[in-house]
Amino acid sequence: MQTMLPSYRDIETAQVRIAGRVHRTPVLTSSGVDTLSGAQVYFKCENFQKVGAFKYRGATNAVMCLTEELASHGVATHSSGNHAAALALAARTRGIPCFVAMPRKAPVPKIEAVRHYGAEITFCEPTLAAREETLNGIVSRTGATFIHPYDNFNVICGQGTAAREFLEDVPGLEILLVPVGGGGLLSGSSISAKALRKGIRVIGCEPANADDAFRSFQSGTLIPSMNPRTIADGLLTSLSERTFAIIREHVDEILTVPEASIISAMRLIWQRMKIIIEPSSAVPAAVLLDYPEKFSGRNIGIIISGGNCDLLNLPFRES
């Protein structure tokens, strides 16, 4: 059975569906970043989105697409944080329960956020097998609908609305830089960007220590992540067949950066722009600064994916 892939029309429909339920986030600029990069850089600030991350777009769209019968049993997922919080709030907004399988080692602020939004958490070991086993038990017990963090048609459509807004606000973008973990944001963003701006380049940005998307893109074969170790905890997951198919069709390139560059870029954004971003959000900025020959003199768009981090354990405190 062939996997159903979203079109730009599906993203347009999602935009209408979630309008008024999600924030239209601002686009910011920084003369300091422009000077350092030699480019004109625009930041789509999903760190100002509800729950502090773009994930609320996809979760809201997926929850609003459920029939009344399915919704009555609630929703469930496995997540290390941002998707769990997003799904919990989307479920609470619709008045239905949310159940989450969450790794024991997930960042404390993300655990607290998921609890705050009303989800029931079941902790598990930090492996995909443990997450899936725990989730299956939850679904069997509750009858809840599983909303995958990224391998979900309606989630991808919701995530694509961020880039749609971005290109509406800054139609002259020449290159769009997007972080990639499981590929939901990059997939939706690439569909929107290619539909709205002829000739735009879409580049996925990934930690070198979790470079399965880069290796998959280069080889043309889906390669799962094996023991990724990066401070960008939101980018630890592997692509799915669905997101990989979209990325192969619409994304031009995937670039990687080392941990030191991610930390440096994160600190730069905090210092120059006075906004909180999490490590995963710093990866595109690190790519911008590590590959100046690709971006100098161009209009660059960066999607800041989120701002949820442990303020007591910032990676640049001792650097």
Same domain? 167 vs 253: yes
| Residue after which a domain boundary falls, among 102, 126, 146 | 146
Domain tally, the chain: 2
Same domain? 229 vs 274: yes
Burial code (b: 16+ CB inside 10 Å, e: under 16) for 253-291 equals: bbbbbebebbbbbbbbbeeebebbbbbbbbbbbbbbbbb
Statement: residue 246 has pLDDT above 80: yes
Same domain? 49 vs 100: no
Q: What is the pLDDT of residue 186?
A: 98
Same domain? 243 vs 220: yes
The pLDDT-based confidence of 315 (bands split at 50, 70, 90) is confident
Statement: residue 263 has pLDDT above 70: yes
Helices (H), 67-152: 68-71, 82-94, 108-116, 128-142
* Any domain includes 181: yes
Contact 272, 30 (CB under 8 A): yes
Q: What is the pLDDT of residues 157-190, one digit of tens each?
A: 999 999 999 999 999 999 999 999 999 999 999 9
Statement: residue 63 has pLDDT above 90: yes
* Any domain includes 221: yes
Statement: residue 319 has pLDDT above 50: no
Side by side, the strands of the sheet bearing 98-103 are: 120-124, 98-103, 75-78, 145-146
- CATH number for 119: 3.40.50.1100
* Any domain includes 296: yes
The boundaries of the domain holding residue 20 are 8-53+153-304
Statement: residue 2 has pLDDT above 70: no
Statement: residue 6 has pLDDT above 50: yes
The pLDDT-based confidence of 314 (bands split at 50, 70, 90) is confident
Same domain? 300 vs 162: yes
Statement: residue 19 has pLDDT above 50: yes
Q: What is the pLDDT of residues 130-159, one digit of tens each?
A: 989 999 999 999 999 999 999 999 999 999
* Any domain includes 317: no
| Residue after which a domain boundary falls, among 130, 146, 162 | 146
Q: What is the pLDDT of residue 199?
A: 96
The pLDDT-based confidence of 127 (bands split at 50, 70, 90) is confident
Q: What is the pLDDT of residues 79-102, one digit of tens each?
A: 877 899 999 999 999 999 999 999
* Any domain includes 313: no
Q: What is the pLDDT of residue 318?
A: 57
DSSP 107: -
* Any domain includes 136: yes
Same domain? 157 vs 251: yes
Same domain? 116 vs 205: no
* Any domain includes 119: yes
Same domain? 85 vs 132: yes
Q: What is the pLDDT of residues 32-48, one digit of tens each?
A: 999 999 999 999 999 99
Contact 165, 189 (CB under 8 A): no
Same domain? 285 vs 172: yes
Contact 76, 139 (CB under 8 A): yes
| Residue after which a domain boundary falls, among 146, 179, 196 | 146
**Rounded percentage of the chain residues whose pLDDT exceeds 70:** 98
Same domain? 225 vs 93: no
Q: Chain-centre distance of CA 270, in angstroms?
A: 19
What HEC string does 140-152 produce? Answer: HHHCCEECCCCCC
Q: What is the pLDDT of residue 3?
A: 76
Same domain? 289 vs 197: yes
Same domain? 67 vs 136: yes
Contact 117, 92 (CB under 8 A): yes
Q: What is the pLDDT of residue 310?
A: 80
* Any domain includes 45: yes
